[in-house]
Amino acid sequence: MDFWAWLILITKVLAIFVLFALGAIPLVLLERWVLGRMQSRYGPHRVGWRGSLQSAADGLKLGIKEDMIPGKSDKGVYWFAPVMMVMPAMAAWAIVPFGPEVEMGRTIGLWVADLNVGILFFLAMGSLGVYGVVMSGWSSNSKYAHLGALRSSAQVISYELVMGLAVLAVIIYAGSLSLIDIVNAQAGLWFIVPQLIGFLLFVFAAVAETNRAPFDLPEAESELVAGFHVEYSGMRWAFFFMAEYANMLLMAALVATLFLGGWNGWTIPGLEALTGVIWFLLKVSLFMFGFFLLRATQPRFRYDQLMNFCWKILIPIGVVNLLIAAGLRMAWS
Amino acid sequence: MTVRRPGLANRMADNLETTVAFWYLAIAAVGAGALMLVARNPVHSAISLVIVIFHVAGLFVILGAGFLAVAQIAIYAGAIVVLFLFTLMMLDMRRLPEERVTHRQIWLGIPLGILLAIEGVVVSVGTPEISASIKGTFPPATVSELGGSTQALAVSLFNEFTLPFLGASVLLTAATIGAIVLARRVEAHEQADYPQAAEASSPDDTPAEPGPAEPVLEESAR
């Protein structure tokens, strides 16, 4: 690789990092505004114009707060758990295609890496995410954190299967594991049309994997206080928060890429790259809004309902859907 | 005429990035492996094992086997070690005796380890001829002809090894169903059908009156 290739790569990585580090601030604000509207109250409205600096102020507060470590915790694991939470969430962003290739002296793809096993890389990083939860829950040496971690690991491992089954059906249609190829395969028809069932399965699994309402049992505030991260404070707690929002964004980006055609949409000739990125961001925003609406409207599942829903309903549907997709694909070719 | 070594040695000779990455990954993997063996706390051992798996996956990436690397992380780190940790978290650590680092097996382990190390040295740096003769059925030319390591694996798995692959699938399915059956508690309304099973389970688990049904799938989810 020459100097410019290195420079472009480092710029892309830094862009992802900034998105990750600062993305939570506007998203938290938007979520609180949406929740406020849904519940007939103002939401944040004191700091800045209509409360627009509220979450920036919260972030500042977390940054200067004392970092407490429980006395009987396992210090090393306690220290490492937020890192394990953040690292996979960030690494998975490397494969997300934001838009088509751009010609600027040389051809630059609007993604960090086009892996030929891209979608499997996403699933692998998703399965690593559970370590942050398990390690924080165990090392805190606290009952609530421990229960939250146990719930979360069972939940994430179960719903990973649903997500894998939904993704497999898409792979069968696209004929490739690379996300760029999957987006290009949707130039004519978005995969949500032939794979509506797969799309619904993926959305359920995405909400469960990110531990969001109505699947937020690991941190159920009414029974477990805050679940696995109850003992954390200050910047370390902020890491868990950032990882949650980065994971939500990642899931929204993956839904847009796998089922809604990624950057595909109507374009203005000459501005394909710009319109592509706008289309992608619109689709991602739609799903982020969906996450907020779900939280505002749906009550939390009970634990046995959660497991029954996954193992008795979603997984059988996923297997049948996969068989039908494979059969249709065989019939076409 | 110089015989060029296949695989890693060849790639490392070609560029600096690979060399740096290799030495980092190799040292970190061996270090974490040693940590796994000497850690007294089983949870620390499990976490070290994850670090080993992660770095070995990195070595697979250097070798151009992306599918293998990702499968390694998804299956070993993402599923198997998580279940180890899950089980360890259920145990009360204070009641476990402090495990000794060395056992009597060390006297068998040391000679075997030395033998393995000698074999490794002979194969990797001994003579280029030996290492050239042991490449697999998929030399780099064949892999690129098939379109990548993922395709090469698929061709191998679904042509040459179809029967073992299906056999392993059937065996694993049977084992899963067996585990569910064994882990399942006998419910009150089933006692009449299986009287001997009801005796085997402890009296606390089976209320005499037909109570609300236990959520069975919680067991299988573990």
**The pLDDT of residue B98:** 59
What's the pLDDT tens digit per position in A284-320? 888 888 888 888 888 888 888 888 888 888 999 999 9
Question: Which range of residues forms the domain containing residue B171?
Answer: 161-222
pLDDT band at residue B196 under the 50/70/90 scheme: low
Strand partners, B134: none
Pair B15, B97 in one domain: yes
DSSP per-residue string spanning A129-186: HHHHHHHHHHHTT-HHHHHHHHHHHHHHHHHHHHHHHHHHHHHHHH--S-HHHHHHHT
Chain A closest-CA separation from residue B121 CA (Å): 32
Within a domain: B115: no
* Mutation site for B-interface testing, chosen from A119, A131, A155, A163 by largest number of B Cβ within 10 Å: A131
List Cα–Cα distances, A128 to A131, A134, B70, B147, in angstroms.
6, 10, 11, 29
User: Do the domain assignments include residue B119?
Assistant: no
**Does residue B220 surpass a pLDDT of 50?**
no
Q: Are B85 and B100 in contact (CB under 8 A)?
A: no
Residue B132 banded pLDDT, cuts 50, 70, 90: low
Say if residue B95 is in the same domain as residue B172: no
Instruction: Write out pLDDT tens, residues B8-38.
Output: 555 555 677 788 888 899 999 999 998 888 8
**Are the beta carbons of B47 and A135 separated by less than 8 Å?**
yes
Of A126, A100, A20, residue with least CA distance to A262: A100
pLDDT of residue B167: 93
Interface contact flag, B41 A74, Cβ < 8 Å? yes
Q: Residues A249-256: what's their mean pLDDT?
A: 89
Domain assignment present for residue B12? The answer is: yes
In a domain? residue B132: no
Instruction: Provide the CATH number for the domain around residue B54.
Output: 1.20.120.1200
Complex ipTM value: 0.80
- Asked if A117's CB is within 8 angstroms of B73's CB, the reply is no
- Domain boundary (B101, B130, B147) is at B101
Is residue B27 in some structural domain? yes
Q: Please give the average per-residue pLDDT across A53-71, as a whole number.
A: 81
Q: What is the pLDDT of residue B126?
A: 62
- Contact A151/B at CB under 8 A: no
Tell me the shortest Cα–Cα distance from A32 to chain B, in angstroms: 33
Contact in structure between A127 and A173 (CB atoms under 8 Å) = no
Nearest-by-Cβ selection for B43 from A124, A130, A138: A138
pLDDT, position B171? 94
CB-based contact (8 Å) between B73 and chain A? yes
Q: Do the domain assignments include residue B123?
A: no
Q: For residue range A158-174, what is the model confidence (pLDDT) as tens digits?
A: 888 899 899 988 888 88
Indicate whether B93 and B19 sit together in one domain. yes
The pLDDT assigned to A317 comes to: 92
Domain count, chain B: 2
Instruction: Kindly list the residues from chain A whose CB atom is less than 8 angstroms away from the CB atom of residue B215.
Output: 304, 307-308
Q: Cβ contacts (< 8 Å) between B79 and chain A: which residues?
A: 127, 157
Asked if residue B203 has a cis previous peptide bond (ω within 30° of 0), the answer is no
The shortest CB-CB distance from B74 to any of A115, A123, A135 is to A123
**pLDDT of B94:** 59
B144 lies in some domain? no
Measured between CB atoms, does A57 come within 8 Å of chain B? no
Residue B125 CA neighbour count, 13 Å, CB half: 3
Give yes or no for residue A105 having a pLDDT over 80.
Answer: no
Residues of A in contact with B222 (CB under 8 A): 154
| B179 part of a folded domain | yes
Average pLDDT estimate for B112-133: 75
CB-based burial of residue A155 (10 Å sphere; 0-12 exposed, 13-18 middle, 19+ buried)? buried
Cβ–Cβ gap B50/A117 under 8 Å = no
Query: Could you tell me which residue, A66 or B53, shows the higher pLDDT?
Result: B53
CB A202 within 8 A of CB A98: no
Domain ranges of chain A: 3-332
Confidence of residue B128 (pLDDT cuts 50, 70, 90): low
Q: Which helix (H) or strand (E) holds A102?
A: strand A99-104
How many beta carbons lie within 10 A of that of residue B30, not counting itself? 12
A115 reaches B (C-beta below 8 A) = yes
